[in-house]
Amino acid sequence: MRDARAGAKSRAMTKPVSSAVASALRTLTLERQGLSAIEEALSGPLADGFDAAVKTILAATGRVIVTGMGKSGHIARKIAATLASTGQPASFVHPAEASHGDLGMVESRDVVLALSWSGESAELAVIITYAKRFAIPLIAITSRAESALGRGADVVVALPVAAEACANTGAPTTSTTMQLAIGDALAIALLEAKGFTARDFGVLHPGGKLGARLAYVRDIMHTGARVPRIKSGARMADAILEMSAKGFGCVGVFDNGALVGIITDGDLRRHLKATPIVDTRVDEVMTLSPRTVAPDAMVAEALELISRKISALLVVENDEVVGIVHFHDLMRLGAV
């Protein structure tokens, strides 16, 4: 049977691919080679330009004005959005619209980040001139440092030349992948340099599943009388009533106000053979040192702690239980 499975696997691996799949594989190979070229360049000639770009942006008190024409413009929009979402104020300015009033969006406190693979996009001339006139730092991301854009820039991030996926047309493929990657690298380097945290990120991403996971446990936990509690030494009959009344599938066991354990539905199932369980003391059934979560923890952290065996977490602050959060709360929030 094993030999048959191995034979089937071998035949699947040697199955000839279609021309479309072969084309896709060539494209991915070329784009991967482009990314590898950036990696190699960052250990050499690209390092100084990249470092200077990060330092220039960090020194600015305004926004990063990202610009580019054509396919580079589409990548520029994405880079601007990534920068803004990771704590670096940024805006995209279309170079063709710049000479029709949009230069008013660029201030002396800003930094201009211009993308052009060839560095010869005529539409960028207006922004280059404007940056020079008002001493606005200009960072160029291009493959040709000696181009018009490269010569006009204060900082050049010179990407290594790489082959496009279509040699016949030269349609931007590998080049835009490389621009996108260096833009992501720039955003993360800035994020780390600023000490931008997941909490900061959550403030800028309140919507969708990502926003839900970055919400605080404090905002969704149940408090006060909703927290299931039973005193140490109490009978299981009382604990079962408390669990049923509160509906979280668990009850915290307290001794002089301090949390000492927890009893869950799973604990009940494991002790059903006790005779009779209703007269058993909670201390004999409870799980010691239960998992808890802080109120200022993010929902994503609570989600990691909750499992098939644990569907609810007691929320503890300064050694005091202040609430409870259930898996269903995370589902309603949209974090799951």
Long-range Cβ contacts of 101-105 (<8 Å, 24+ apart): 103/127, 103/130, 105/65
Q: What is the pLDDT along the chain (336 residues), one digit of tens a residue?
A: 455 555 555 555 567 889 999 999 999 999 999 999 999 999 999 999 999 999 999 999 999 999 999 999 999 999 999 999 888 999 999 999 998 989 999 999 999 999 999 999 999 999 999 999 999 999 999 999 999 999 999 999 999 999 998 877 888 999 999 999 999 999 999 989 888 665 555 555 555 555 555 678 888 899 999 999 999 999 999 999 999 999 898 999 999 989 999 999 888 888 877 667 888 899 999 989 888 999 988 877 877 777 656 788 999 999 899 999 988 777 766 655
Q: Where in the chain is the domain with CATH 3.40.50.10490?
A: 17-196
Q: Which CATH number fits domain 17-196: 3.20.20.70, 3.40.50.10490, 3.50.50.60, 3.90.79.10?
A: 3.40.50.10490
pLDDT in tens, 274-286: 667 888 899 999 9
- Residue ranges in the chain assigned as alpha helix (H): 2-13, 19-42, 45-59, 71-85, 95-98, 125-133, 148-152, 174-194, 198-204, 208-213, 236-246, 265-270, 282-285, 299-305, 327-333
Nearest CA to 110 out of 90, 94, 127, 129 is that of: 90
How far apart, in whole angstroms, are the C-alpha atoms of residue 329 and residue 336? 10
- Look up the CATH superfamily of 217-333: CBS-domain (3.10.580.10)
Instruction: Describe the crossing of helices 174-194 and 19-42 by its angle, rounded to 10 degrees.
Output: 40
325's enclosing H/E stretch is strand 320-326
Tokens of 27: 């494209």
Q: Where in the chain is the domain with CATH 3.10.580.10?
A: 217-333
